[in-house]
Structure 1
Amino acid sequence: MPSGQRETSVSMPLTPTDLYWRRIFNKYDRDNDGRISYVELKGIIESREYDQDLPDNVVDKIMVLADSDNSGYLDFAEFVAMMHNPDLKAVFGHFVARYIHSIIPHRNPIDTTVQTPRSKAYFTYTDGTYEEEYSCWPPAICMILISLVEIVLFCYDAAQGNTQANGPIAQIFIYNPHKRQEAWRFVTYMLVHVGVVHLLVNLLVQLFLGVPLEMVHRWWRVTLVYLAGVAAGSLATSLADPKVYLAGASGGVYALIAAHVATIIMNWAEMEFAIVQLLVFLLLAGVDVGTAVYDRYWRHLDQHIGYVAHLAGAVAGLLVGIGVLRNLEKRKWEKRLWWAAVVLYFALMIAGILANIFWTARFK
């Protein structure tokens, strides 16, 4: 590449397209020195985004073509030039496909689109940014550890012939309305399950939903959402059905489901197929609520299912999810939504705690 062309690209301000390449460059600049080495370049090509691994001699040829100043490293300008090199497009098909995908007209062209000089078409670079944030480091182990604890405790009681939340472990951890002064029960009931099916359903949901959330938002945020749903579920159930024993992680599970909805709302422009994902979660919630209403008021079935805990967990998950989960691009309306969610969550939780403490007549 002529040196004059490279100097021009460096001196120009970053366009939205350059910002897209900058995110990729920073992702694979492992040591954050502003350069991509041979090893880091090979890591890009052999990463999980590619359908093929290339031998070392091919990587050598790519480095020779891209490293215009023969420094042994690629700076950002050389990296961008490499991505646009027609001889290398077959290799970097993943990034080219992402780039082509990004030229789809954006929902809000005023803020995040630019006009290309050749085609005069508008394009965006943000759609799909959320999916790029998935990472296996630090490992997503929080939901896995919670699931293992639930399995171990269930197996301990089952080994003594108790699988219906009536074993020695369950007696300590279950939410018992007659032992409300033992405050830990408002949270530890999530470790107790009534039967194998109850356990398996909760495990499947919290692993399939919780682990992907951890990969983007990190374990501590997801843990806050999960425990917020568990606590909200027990507080609400104790007020709505003060004679009900409560077992299972459904409050936390529904918090994770609602947290996915919160993620979609807060990262709408950065997610692929946001509307499809939102409709899927709303459909699942609608089916669950509709089934509960039908069974209770039309079929007159008493299944002893804590639907209040489900609902309260979902509300907590939505509010806490908006409050603590990562928002990749903050907008003014999202800041107002954040404050509204935080204030409403704390107001509801404080009201629930105070009612459980001082509304003694409700529990007689």
Structure 2
Amino acid sequence: MQATQRETAVSIPLTPTRSDLYWRRIFNKYDRDNDGRISYVELKNIIESREYDHDLPDNVVEKIMALADRDNSGYLEFAEFVEMMHNPALKAVFGHFVARYVHSIIPHRGPVDTTGRWSGFQPVSSSDGDGTYEEEYSCWPPAISMIIISLVEIVLFCYDEAQGKTGATGPIAKLFLYNPRKRHEAWRFLTYMLVHVNVVHLLVNLLVQLFLGVPLEMVHKWWRVVLVYLAGVAAGSLATSLADPKVYLAGASGGVYALITAHIATIIMNWAEMEFAIIQLLVFVLLAGVDVGTAVYDRYWKQTQQNIGYVAHLGGAVAGLLVGIGVLRNLEKRKWEKRLWWAAVILYFSLMIAGILANIFWESRFL
């Protein structure tokens, strides 16, 4: 009698809805032996699959099965599976992880026929992506690496200001900024990012790197973002030393531009998973283009007396794009993305090795 009541409570409508067919497709994907039931082992395979990335604790499978397997059969039938995905009690156990995983492997796209198969591939909403990328944002571990770098920049700037030295003339600035006459002091190719000319210069870099760096960390983790940032800083100074050898460098613009184009890289690699991807791409391209264009115009057409290292901006941008493609997370790998990954990695290392060798052996360039 109890079994009959339960069956009535969760029975499937005679006419399948779009939601039913969607869950049926997912259910069939993990019903490996096609017996109409998902066993404990099959459920464990869902959680431990490569795409799921081990986000759940080891004991979560037991908890899910205990709550979802209402008849204690040791299997999840389709009705139980659908109920599991909509059961509020289960959210306390594993939050949004299952739903997030489902969206990452089977985007909401295209019309469905009565067998549960996609009969086409066209968007069902006005969004460019299905929002899977946005669901990856996490506050744990906390995104603090860009905050720490920003605090170091503030402390060093305040120290020089306290010494009464402005315009990157303080003891810290003299030790850390990129000085083309002291290229043999190799640390300067990186440490110039910690030096700023004035308060406005510092604030602009801080705002951009925090607003761009922290969201990247929340999805891609701190070490990937730091790699992108430092790659941009190094590429900016190497490019400047070769293309504009008389320019001093101070500021984090190389790293900031790397973060801008890293966002472009992650949009490219996760296009199908992102909401409003085309709008985000246009915003970042426009932001970078206007800033670099303004610097070039001021220097060569207006001939203002300033030495903005726009080559560092360009170098950082190229590095951020290439390293971003190489190290940032790609939520769903496709064949063309694997080829793009290899091309980006090879091109980045080729350019960096060429830049380092040129700085060492092309001495006439710096006379």
1:269 and 2:272 correspond: yes
1:14 and 2:30 correspond: yes
| Aligned residue number for residue 346 of structure 1 | 349
1:170 and 2:173 correspond: yes
- Residue from 230, 234, 237 that aligns with 2:237: 234
| Aligned residue number for residue 303 of structure 1 | 306
- Deviation for aligned residue 1:139: 1.4
For 1:259-338, list aligned pairs within 5 A.
Answer: 259-338=262-341
* 3-state SS of paired residue (1:285): helix
1:145 and 2:148 correspond: yes
Paired residues of 1:174 and 1:188 also in contact (CA < 8 A) = yes
Cα deviation, 1:259-300, whole Å, max 9, x if unaligned, reads 000000111111111111111111112212322233233322
Count of residue pairs the alignment pairs up: 319
- Residue from 33, 41, 51 that aligns with 2:60: 33
- Deviation for aligned residue 1:84: 4.7
Cα deviation, 1:22-56, whole Å, max 9, x if unaligned, reads 68xx7985554314479xxxxxxxxxxxxxxxxxx
> How far apart, in 2, do the equivalents of 1:120 and 1:316 lie?
39
- Call closer, same or farther: CA 1:349–1:85 in 2, change over 3 Å: closer
* 3-state SS of paired residue (2:169): coil
Letter of the 2:365 partner, please give it: R
Provide the identity percentage: 73
- Call closer, same or farther: CA 1:29–1:323 in 2, change over 3 Å: closer
Runs of 4+ in 1 over 6 A off after TM superposition: 3-6, 74-77, 118-121, 123-126
- Residue from 212, 215, 220 that aligns with 2:215: 212
- Residue from 173, 194, 197 that aligns with 1:194: 197
Paired residues of 1:127 and 1:269 also in contact (CA < 8 A) = yes
Cα deviation, 1:103-139, whole Å, max 9, x if unaligned, reads 454xxxxxxx864548986578982211111111121
* 3-state SS of paired residue (2:223): helix
> How far apart, in 1, do the equivalents of 2:229 and 2:317 lie?
10
Paired residues of 2:112 and 2:118 also in contact (CA < 8 A) = no
Letter of the 1:217 partner, please give it: H
> How far apart, in 1, do the equivalents of 2:112 and 2:56 lie?
27
- Deviation for aligned residue 1:171: 0.9
> How far apart, in 1, do the equivalents of 2:291 and 2:260 lie?
12
List gaps (5 residues or longer) in structure 1.
39-62, 89-93, 106-112
- Call closer, same or farther: CA 1:12–1:228 in 2, change over 3 Å: closer
- Call closer, same or farther: CA 1:293–1:36 in 2, change over 3 Å: same
Moved more, 159-168 or 184-193: 159-168
- Deviation for aligned residue 1:197: 0.4
| Aligned residue number for residue 83 of structure 2 | 81
> How far apart, in 2, do the equivalents of 1:181 and 1:215 lie?
37
Paired residues of 1:323 and 1:338 also in contact (CA < 8 A) = yes
> How far apart, in 2, do the equivalents of 1:154 and 1:335 lie?
42
- Call closer, same or farther: CA 1:228–1:13 in 2, change over 3 Å: closer
> How far apart, in 2, do the equivalents of 1:152 and 1:245 lie?
22
Cα deviation, 1:281-322, whole Å, max 9, x if unaligned, reads 111122123222332333222321110000000000000001
- Call closer, same or farther: CA 1:11–1:249 in 2, change over 3 Å: closer
* 3-state SS of paired residue (2:297): helix
Letter of the 1:81 partner, please give it: E
TM-score normalised according to structure 1 size: 0.76
Paired residues of 1:173 and 1:192 also in contact (CA < 8 A) = yes
Paired residues of 2:132 and 2:273 also in contact (CA < 8 A) = yes
List gaps (5 residues or longer) in structure 2.
1-5, 13-23, 32-37, 91-95
- Deviation for aligned residue 1:163: 2.8
Letter of the 2:308 partner, please give it: I
- Call closer, same or farther: CA 1:137–1:84 in 2, change over 3 Å: closer
- Deviation for aligned residue 1:80: 3.1
Aligned-residue CA RMSD in angstroms? Answer: 4.0
Cα deviation, 1:324-349, whole Å, max 9, x if unaligned, reads 11111111111111111111111110
> How far apart, in 1, do the equivalents of 2:319 and 2:113 lie?
42
| Aligned residue number for residue 58 of structure 1 | none
TM-score normalised according to structure 2 size: 0.75
> How far apart, in 2, do the equivalents of 1:292 and 1:83 lie?
53
| Aligned residue number for residue 68 of structure 1 | 70
- Call closer, same or farther: CA 1:356–1:29 in 2, change over 3 Å: closer
- Call closer, same or farther: CA 1:270–1:170 in 2, change over 3 Å: same
| Aligned residue number for residue 137 of structure 2 | 134
